[in-house]
Amino acid sequence: MKKNIKPRLFAKQLLQEGILWQPDDAQTHYLLNVLRLRLEDEIKVFDGQSGEYIGQICDIGKKSCSIKILQKIREMSHCPDVWLLFAPVKKDKTDFIIAGATELGVAKILPVMTERTIAERVKKERFEAQVIEAAEQCRRLDIPQILEPQPIKKLLQSWPQERILYFMDETGNGGDIQTVFQKATSAGAAVLVGPEGGFSEAELQLLRSASFAKGVSMGKRILRAETAVLSALACWQAICGDWIEGERK
Ligand code: SAH
């Protein structure tokens, strides 16, 4: 391992300088057996609440280790307030969506069940482990929140009216993505992508009649659900989010 690139781990507890932190079993295995770190080696640790720290291995047991939290190196910051709503697809593609959305800086992930959603059982715990891993790698300081899957109708009924829901409409009836996003006025937003089979006619009608929803087109070519998710989020970050110079410290 290159010692100048410090591994970065998420701690499920509030950190502060001077305290000791015990990585969980998987993290300990990664540090000691995969990376083969030793006493006094340094890593980066973040807690999703207070920022990021340098930590140093100060004790190694048989199957455990302790990290001394030395110094805060980044103050807490949050990703822009955009949510992703997506219909779970096959397992490996859903994994790709979860990791990609985390890297693209979503604040919240809401799996939605639509008429044509064909998904293997959705496991929230699995998603949670994936967002943590992606957040560790991409250096974001907060962890996106994941909600339990909900039927689309129920979600629309209890939708916070002030948040615009941009639904990706492959029928060509939405506004073009650049124009729609440039007109965004609300602080928070959400992006909805349909399942592989597309939205049903009834779902499209429901979305089109909702005052808070706006249809968006991403051109003539039909994208796979996972491509659509990443494309929509990338456009949102470029036009309304934090893809501006100086944001990456
Ligand atoms: N089976 C459908 C395609 C579904 S694609 C068909 O053949 O018509 C899966 C989802 O990706 C869609 O529900 C939509 O939300 C999004 N999507 C794909 N291509 C898109 C495009 N060109 N514009 C807007 N949304 C798109």
In tens, the pLDDT along 27-71 reads: 999 999 999 999 999 999 999 999 999 999 999 998 999 999 999
Domains of the chain: 8-75 (2.40.240.20), 82-239 (3.40.1280.10)
pLDDT of residue 7: 97
Residue ranges lining ligand 1, Cβ < 6 Å = 168-170, 193-194, 196-199, 217-219, 221-223, 225, 228
Q: Which residue, judged by its Cα, is nearest atom 11 of ligand 1?
A: 225
Give the strand pairing for 65-75 and 20-21: antiparallel
Q: Which residue, judged by its Cα, is nearest atom 20 of ligand 1?
A: 170
Q: Which atom of ligand 1 is nearest to the CA of 199?
A: 13
Q: Single out the residue of 234, 203, 227, 218 nearest to residue 170, CA to CA.
A: 218
Q: 198 C-alpha vs ligand 1 centroid, how far in Å?
A: 6
- The conformation of residue 172, written as its DSSP 8-state character, comes to S
Span 86-96, average pLDDT: 92
Q: Which atom of ligand 1 is nearest to the CA of 219?
A: 22
Span 143-152, average pLDDT: 95
Q: Which residues of 52-64 are buried (b: 16+ CB within 10 A; e: fewer)?
A: bbbbebeeeeeee
Q: What is the pTM of this model?
A: 0.94
Q: What is the rounded CA–CA span in Å between residue 207 and residue 215?
A: 8
pLDDT of residue 5: 85
Confidence of residue 186 (pLDDT cuts 50, 70, 90): confident
Q: Which residue, judged by its Cα, is nearest atom 1 of ligand 1?
A: 197
Percent of the chain with pLDDT over 90: 88
Q: Which atom of ligand 1 is nearest to the CA of 222?
A: 19
